[in-house]
Amino acid sequence: MSRTLLERARKAFQTAINSQDTSKVYANCKSAAELYERAFKASQRSQRAKRNQQPTDVNPLEVIAQELGAVYCFTGNLYMIVEEDERAARCYDAAIKMLSGEQKTDALVGRAAVKKRRKDFSGAIDDINGVLMLAPEKRDECHYNLGLIGIDREDYGFALENLQKSVQVNPEFAIAHAHLGDVYRILGDTKRAQHQYERALQVTEGRMDRLDMRDYRGAIRAEIGLVCHLSQEREPRFSRMALSKGLLSQQEIMSLTHFKHVGVRTLYPLRKPG
C-alpha cells in the first residue's frame, strides 16, 4: 500500500517540476504532498505491525519524510515567487520539521526570505545562522544573505561586514560584489563602489560559458551602478543578453535598477545612456 502511494507521490511531484502550466504545478504539488502524507501514515502502521522483526538498513519513514520535505520546500518556493508569504512560510515550516541535517538548509533560507520580506530581521538572521551551523561549506551564501538582510534593515556596517566575508570566501560571487558596491556607494565611498561593480563585471565576463541567473543579476546591478550612479559610459551588455535569452523580463530588469535612497527605477538597461 505505502509503496504504491509513494510511487504515485513521486510521479505527481515529477510532473509538477516538469510542467509549464502554473495551475498544474500547484495542483500536482498538492497531490504529491497528500500522497506522501498518506504513504507516511501507511508506513508507520506497517512498522508497528512488524515491530519484532529485524530492522532494515533503510528506514522507509525517513525516506518518505525527506521526500515530503522536498515537496514542501519546492511548494514554498512557488508561493514566494507570487508573494504569498503566509502560505510559503507554512510550507517552509513543514519542510523544516520533515527534513534533517543539511537537507533542511534550503527551507531555512526560504523561511529567512519570508521573514526578511516581513521585516522580521532578527528571525531571518537566526535562520541563516542555522544554515551556517548545518552547512559551513555554504558560508559564502550565508554571509551574502546576511548582507542582504543588513541592507534591508539599513544596518550598512552589518551588511558591509558580511558581504566582505562572502567575497573573501568566494571571489567569483558576482552578485555579492555588486551588492557590496551598493553598500559602498550608500556610504559615500565611490572609489570602492566602482571597484566592486567592475569586479562583478570582470568575474561575470570571465565565465561567459557557464553563467547562472545570479551572475546576470549581479552584472546588471553593476552596469546600473557604474552608469546611473558613477556617471560612466557603458553598454548595457548583460541586460540585453538576459532579455534576449528570456532569462529576465523587462519588469525583472527594471526591479534591479531600484536603489535605496536614490529612487532610480527606469528601464535604463534597455537603452543607451544619455
Give pTM, 2 decimals. Answer: 0.82
Residue 57: predicted pLDDT:
60
**The predicted structure's pLDDT at residue 56:** 56
Between CA 79 and CA 107 the distance in angstroms is: 13
Tell me the torsion sign for CA atoms 74, 7, 16, 211. positive
Q: Could you tell me which of 238, 233, 184 has the C-alpha nearest to residue 216?
A: 238
Per-domain residue ranges for the chain?
1-99
Place of cell 502524507: 37
Of all residues in the chain, the percent with pLDDT exceeding 70 is 85
pLDDT for 257 equals 56
At a CB cut-off of 8 Å and minimum separation 6, what does 258 contact? 264, 265
Check whether 266 has a pLDDT greater than 70.
no
DSSP per residue, the chain: -HHHHHHHHHHHHHHHHH---HHHHHHHHHHHHHHHHHHHHHHHHHHHHTTTSPPPSS-HHHHHHHHHHHHHHHHHHHHHHTT-HHHHHHHHHHHHHH--GGGGHHHHHHHHHHHHHTT-HHHHHHHHHHHHHH-GGGHHHHHHHHHHHHHHTT-HHHHHHHHHHHHHH-TT-HHHHHHHHHHHHHTT-HHHHHHHHHHHHHHHHTTGGG--HHHHHHHHHHHHIIIIIT------HHHHHHHHTTSS-HHHHHHTT--TTT---S-GGGS---
Summarize pLDDT for 27-68 with one digit per residue, the tens: 888 898 888 888 888 887 776 666 655 555 667 788 888 999
Residue-wise pLDDT for 209-221, tens only, equals: 888 888 888 888 8
Q: How many alpha carbons fall within 13 Å on the CB side of residue 169? A: 16
* More confident: 254 or 133: 133
In the predicted model, what is the mean pLDDT of residues 5-18?
Answer: 87
Question: Per-residue pLDDT tens for 90-113?
Answer: 999 999 999 988 889 999 999 999
Q: Is the pLDDT of residue 270 over 50?
A: no
Average pLDDT over residues 236-247: 81
C-alpha cell at 241: 543578453
Query: What was the pLDDT predicted at 260?
Result: 46
CA 217 to chain CA centroid, Å, is 13
